[in-house]
Protein backbone atom coordinates (compact mmCIF):
# COMPACT_ATOMS: atom_id res chain seq x y z
CA UNK A 1 0.00 0.00 0.00
CA UNK A 2 1.53 3.28 -1.06
CA UNK A 3 -0.90 6.01 -0.12
CA UNK A 4 -0.66 9.19 1.87
CA UNK A 5 -3.30 9.53 4.60
CA UNK A 6 -4.17 13.12 5.41
CA UNK A 7 -7.00 15.50 6.12
CA UNK A 8 -9.23 16.00 3.09
CA UNK A 9 -9.13 19.28 1.22
CA UNK A 10 -11.68 20.81 -1.10
CA UNK A 11 -9.43 19.78 -4.00
CA UNK A 12 -10.12 16.13 -3.02
CA UNK A 13 -13.88 16.51 -3.33
CA UNK A 14 -14.21 15.55 -7.05
CA UNK A 15 -12.26 12.32 -6.51
CA UNK A 16 -14.25 11.51 -3.36
CA UNK A 17 -17.48 12.09 -5.28
CA UNK A 18 -16.28 9.72 -7.99
CA UNK A 19 -15.54 7.02 -5.40
CA UNK A 20 -18.91 7.54 -3.73
CA UNK A 21 -20.88 7.60 -6.98
CA UNK A 22 -19.61 4.12 -7.82
CA UNK A 23 -21.44 2.85 -4.72
CA UNK A 24 -24.51 4.98 -5.44
CA UNK A 25 -24.86 3.57 -8.96
CA UNK A 26 -23.71 -0.03 -8.55
CA UNK A 27 -24.27 -1.21 -4.97
CA UNK A 28 -26.75 -1.08 -2.11
CA UNK A 29 -23.96 0.01 0.27
CA UNK A 30 -25.38 3.53 0.28
CA UNK A 31 -29.06 4.25 0.03
CA UNK A 32 -28.53 7.35 -2.09
CA UNK A 33 -30.20 6.68 -5.43
CA UNK A 34 -28.82 9.46 -7.64
CA UNK A 35 -25.16 10.33 -8.23
CA UNK A 36 -23.68 13.62 -7.05
CA UNK A 37 -21.44 16.23 -8.57
CA UNK A 38 -18.88 18.12 -6.52
CA UNK A 39 -21.17 21.13 -6.15
CA UNK A 40 -24.08 19.17 -4.75
CA UNK A 41 -21.75 17.28 -2.41
CA UNK A 42 -20.20 20.47 -1.02
CA UNK A 43 -22.62 20.84 1.94
CA UNK A 44 -21.64 17.32 3.03
CA UNK A 45 -17.94 18.26 2.79
CA UNK A 46 -18.45 21.48 4.75
CA UNK A 47 -19.55 19.66 7.92
CA UNK A 48 -15.97 18.50 8.59
CA UNK A 49 -13.17 20.31 10.36
CA UNK A 50 -9.47 19.83 11.08
CA UNK A 51 -10.35 19.65 14.78
CA UNK A 52 -13.31 18.46 16.78
CA UNK A 53 -15.28 15.25 16.50
CA UNK A 54 -16.24 15.53 12.81
CA UNK A 55 -13.22 14.68 10.68
CA UNK A 56 -12.66 13.64 7.09
CA UNK A 57 -9.47 11.88 6.00
CA UNK A 58 -8.43 10.69 2.56
CA UNK A 59 -5.99 8.13 1.31
CA UNK A 60 -4.27 9.75 -1.66
CA UNK A 61 -2.28 7.98 -4.34
CA UNK A 62 -0.13 10.32 -6.43
CA UNK A 63 -2.04 13.21 -4.87
CA UNK A 64 -5.53 11.93 -5.79
CA UNK A 65 -7.98 10.60 -3.22
CA UNK A 66 -8.70 6.91 -3.73
CA UNK A 67 -10.51 6.36 -0.42
CA UNK A 68 -11.92 8.34 2.47
CA UNK A 69 -13.18 7.85 6.00
CA UNK A 70 -15.01 10.21 8.30
CA UNK A 71 -16.77 10.74 11.57
CA UNK A 72 -19.90 12.84 11.26
CA UNK A 73 -22.97 13.81 13.21
CA UNK A 74 -25.09 10.81 14.15
CA UNK A 75 -28.34 12.68 14.81
CA UNK A 76 -29.30 16.38 14.85
CA UNK A 77 -30.68 16.42 18.41
CA UNK A 78 -28.17 17.88 20.87
CA UNK A 79 -28.21 14.95 23.30
CA UNK A 80 -26.58 12.84 20.58
CA UNK A 81 -23.58 15.17 20.22
CA UNK A 82 -21.18 12.70 21.89
CA UNK A 83 -22.08 10.02 19.34
CA UNK A 84 -20.64 10.05 15.83
CA UNK A 85 -21.33 7.92 12.80
CA UNK A 86 -18.37 6.53 10.91
CA UNK A 87 -18.22 6.14 7.15
CA UNK A 88 -15.57 4.64 4.89
CA UNK A 89 -15.38 4.22 1.10
CA UNK A 90 -12.57 2.91 -1.09
CA UNK A 91 -12.34 3.13 -4.87
CA UNK A 92 -13.36 -0.25 -6.32
CA UNK A 93 -9.82 -1.00 -7.53
CA UNK A 94 -8.34 -0.23 -4.10
CA UNK A 95 -10.35 -2.64 -1.96
CA UNK A 96 -8.54 -5.27 0.14
CA UNK A 97 -5.20 -3.45 0.01
CA UNK A 98 -5.11 -2.36 3.65
CA UNK A 99 -6.24 1.18 2.85
CA UNK A 100 -9.45 0.94 4.86
CA UNK A 101 -7.60 -0.29 7.94
CA UNK A 102 -4.97 2.43 7.60
CA UNK A 103 -7.66 5.11 7.17
CA UNK A 104 -9.71 3.95 10.14
CA UNK A 105 -6.59 3.72 12.28
CA UNK A 106 -5.62 7.29 11.43
CA UNK A 107 -9.18 8.56 11.83
CA UNK A 108 -9.68 7.00 15.24
CA UNK A 109 -6.30 8.32 16.37
CA UNK A 110 -7.32 11.80 15.19
CA UNK A 111 -10.50 11.85 17.28
CA UNK A 112 -9.18 9.92 20.28
CA UNK A 113 -9.20 12.97 22.60
CA UNK A 114 -12.49 14.43 21.39
CA UNK A 115 -15.68 14.37 23.45
CA UNK A 116 -16.97 11.20 21.79
CA UNK A 117 -18.58 8.46 23.84
CA UNK A 118 -19.84 6.22 21.03
CA UNK A 119 -19.14 5.56 17.36
CA UNK A 120 -21.86 3.99 15.24
CA UNK A 121 -21.66 2.40 11.80
CA UNK A 122 -24.61 1.35 9.65
CA UNK A 123 -23.73 -1.41 7.18
CA UNK A 124 -26.06 -2.64 4.45
CA UNK A 125 -26.22 -6.44 4.50
CA UNK A 126 -24.62 -8.51 3.23
CA UNK A 127 -21.20 -6.89 3.52
CA UNK A 128 -18.81 -9.31 5.22
CA UNK A 129 -15.74 -7.18 4.47
CA UNK A 130 -17.14 -4.08 6.13
CA UNK A 131 -18.40 -6.02 9.14
CA UNK A 132 -14.96 -7.60 9.54
CA UNK A 133 -13.21 -4.22 9.24
CA UNK A 134 -15.40 -2.75 11.95
CA UNK A 135 -14.92 -5.76 14.20
CA UNK A 136 -11.13 -5.38 13.87
CA UNK A 137 -11.54 -1.86 15.25
CA UNK A 138 -13.61 -2.94 18.23
CA UNK A 139 -17.12 -2.42 16.89
CA UNK A 140 -19.78 -4.86 18.09
CA UNK A 141 -23.20 -5.52 16.67
CA UNK A 142 -25.89 -3.39 18.27
CA UNK A 143 -28.76 -4.70 16.14
CA UNK A 144 -30.23 -5.20 12.70
CA UNK A 145 -33.01 -3.18 11.13
CA UNK A 146 -34.83 -5.24 8.55
CA UNK A 147 -35.90 -4.13 5.07
CA UNK A 148 -35.30 -0.45 5.82
CA UNK A 149 -33.84 0.62 2.48
CA UNK A 150 -35.27 0.01 -0.99
CA UNK A 151 -32.80 0.05 -3.85
CA UNK A 152 -32.50 -1.88 -7.11
CA UNK A 153 -36.05 -3.19 -6.71
CA UNK A 154 -35.57 -4.88 -3.35
CA UNK A 155 -35.36 -4.14 0.35
CA UNK A 156 -32.11 -4.30 2.30
CA UNK A 157 -31.31 -4.91 5.95
CA UNK A 158 -28.83 -2.74 7.85
CA UNK A 159 -26.69 -3.90 10.76
CA UNK A 160 -25.74 -1.20 13.23
CA UNK A 161 -22.42 -1.64 14.94
CA UNK A 162 -21.06 0.45 17.79
CA UNK A 163 -17.72 1.16 19.38
CA UNK A 164 -17.43 2.80 22.78
CA UNK A 165 -14.71 5.39 23.07
CA UNK A 166 -12.60 5.76 26.18
CA UNK A 167 -12.96 9.47 26.90
CA UNK A 168 -16.21 11.06 25.87
CA UNK A 169 -19.35 11.26 27.93
CA UNK A 170 -17.93 10.20 31.28
Q: Quickly state the pLDDT bin for 82 (edges 50, 70, 90).
A: very high
CA distance 1 to 154: 36
151: in domain: no
Q: What is the DSSP letter of 80?
A: G
Range of the domain at 49: 4-121
The residue among 66, 61, 68, 52 whose CA lies nearest residue 7 is: 68
Counting the structural domains of the chain, the total is 1
Which pLDDT belongs to residue 168?
A: 43
Mean pLDDT lowest for which of 7-11, 25-29, 82-86, 92-96? 92-96
pLDDT tens figures, 153-169 = 999 999 999 999 975 44
Q: What is the DSSP letter of 127?
A: -
CB atoms within 10 A of CB 86: 23
CB atoms within 10 A of CB 17: 21
Indicate which CATH number applies to the domain containing 65. Answer: 3.40.630.30
Amino acid sequence: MSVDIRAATLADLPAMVEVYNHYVLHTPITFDLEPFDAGSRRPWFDQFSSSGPHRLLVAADAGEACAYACTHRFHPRAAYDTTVETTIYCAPGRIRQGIGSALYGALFDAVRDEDIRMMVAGITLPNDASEALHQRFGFVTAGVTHAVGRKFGRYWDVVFMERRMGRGGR
